[in-house]
Every structure is written in structure tokens, then in C-alpha cells.
A and B are shown apart, each in its own frame.
Chain A
Amino acid sequence: NAGVTQTPKFRVLKTGQSMTLLCAQDMNHEYMYWYRQDPGMGLRLIHYSVGEGTTAKGEVPDGYNVSRLKKQNFLLGLESAAPSQTSVYFCASSFGPEAFFGQGTRLTVV
């Protein structure tokens, strides 16, 4: 049982480049989330989804887009990467009160 899988685990981007982070869950959860974690800032919600085909903005959505075309996948896109987007990104999914997190993607924008 894989749980929540994030791809890739590490990535270095140049300013202005674009990329997509993939999150896949095999628990049939309705809710999925993207967070970023920065030193001293804790986990901050970027976007979330309450079901297939739905998305909503979280606390820090600017510069990111998301899509939930299939229930098991939640994609996070950076259209034009900026150094301020250097962070560790976590995907999570939930059905009840407990959220399950992936292992994270460490993104560096230079």
C-alpha cells in the first residue's frame, strides 16, 4: 500500500521555468491538499480539492495552479518559477479526520 506518492523528490529550476509536481494517492480519498513548508513558517496551504474536478485556493495560492482531473491525482503547477518558490512541497489526502502526507518534494529555484 503506497499511500501518498509525490514525484519528483528533488528538482532544481531556473527562474522563469515551469514544472508540474505530481501527487498520487491509492486510498480513494476525496480530499487532497498541497502545502509548502518553509523554515519558521510551518506548513502553509497552497490549494486543495474536495473531489474530482474541483479545486480551491488556500492560504498562499499566488504563482501556482492545480488540477484534479482524476480522483487519485492532484497536480501542482508552477508556470514561471521564482526564487521565492524555493521550498519543500507536501501533498496530503484525507477522507476522515486523519490526513496522510507524502514524503515531500524539495524544490530549489535559482
Chain B
Amino acid sequence: EDQVTQSPEALRLQEGESSSLNCSYTVSGLRGLFWYRQDPGKGPEFLFTLYSAGEEKEKERLKATLTKKESFLHITAPKPEDSATYLCAVQAMLIGGKLIFGQGTELSVKP
């Protein structure tokens, strides 16, 4: 069964304190792994797509990496505006493009 598990469930950081979020997955043929950001009361917003082990993507203070079993979202010197829930999702080698989501990590960055 395709499954995505994110850890930790919640993470509190001080401004400037770098850390990483984890996304572990099991899927019958990975087509892609996705990271989304979700602010309270809003829909998820696309951040990155990773397709193969060893691939890395960066955007401002965020860097996503991928192995055969997990993905990390590294946050370097975070700012309060980085506070949000970060969602990981996988897409299997099936028609339909449907995404299987993890439960998310709620990140809080205090000034």
C-alpha cells in the first residue's frame, strides 16, 4: 500500500535556527515526490517536485532532497514568515496523477 509519513508533526524554531523536516514514503513505482506549503485557512501551495534519488531543488531558504526511501526539506536560517504547515506527497506510476499526502509538519518560527 502506498504510504507517506512525515516527521515531526510539529517543529518550533527560533529565527535563524536551521533544521530539517522528514518525509518517508513507500510507493509502488515513484513518479514524483512533491512538497507543498499550506498557510492557515488556505489551500496548499506548490514548492518542489523531485523525480529521482539524489535530486535536489532549492528555493530561497528551502532545499529539498530525495533518496529511495525518504525526502528531506532543509530550512536554513528560517524567518517567521516561513511558519506554515509543510506537506509531502507522492505520485505513483499510475494514470490519474493522484497525490498521496502525508499528515504534514507544522512549523513555527519565533523571532
Contact = CB atoms under 8 A, between A and B. Distances in A.
B43 A101 contact: yes
Contacts of A33: 98-99
Nearest to B104: A42
Interface string B21-46: 00000000000101000000111111
Nearest to A50: B96
Interface residues of B, number: 23
A102 B41 CA distance: 11
B8 interface: no
Nearest to A35: B101
Contacts of B104: 42
A97 B32 contact: yes
A2 interface: no
Interface residues of A, number: 26
A99 B41 contact: no
A1 to B, nearest CB: 15
Interface in B65-83: none
B46 A99 contact: yes
Interface of B: 4, 32, 34, 41-46, 49, 87, 89, 91, 95-104
Given A40-B103, A48-B98, A101-B44, 11 more contacts: A42-B87, A43-B44, A43-B89, A43-B99, A50-B97, A97-B32, A97-B91, A98-B46, A100-B46, A103-B42, A104-B42
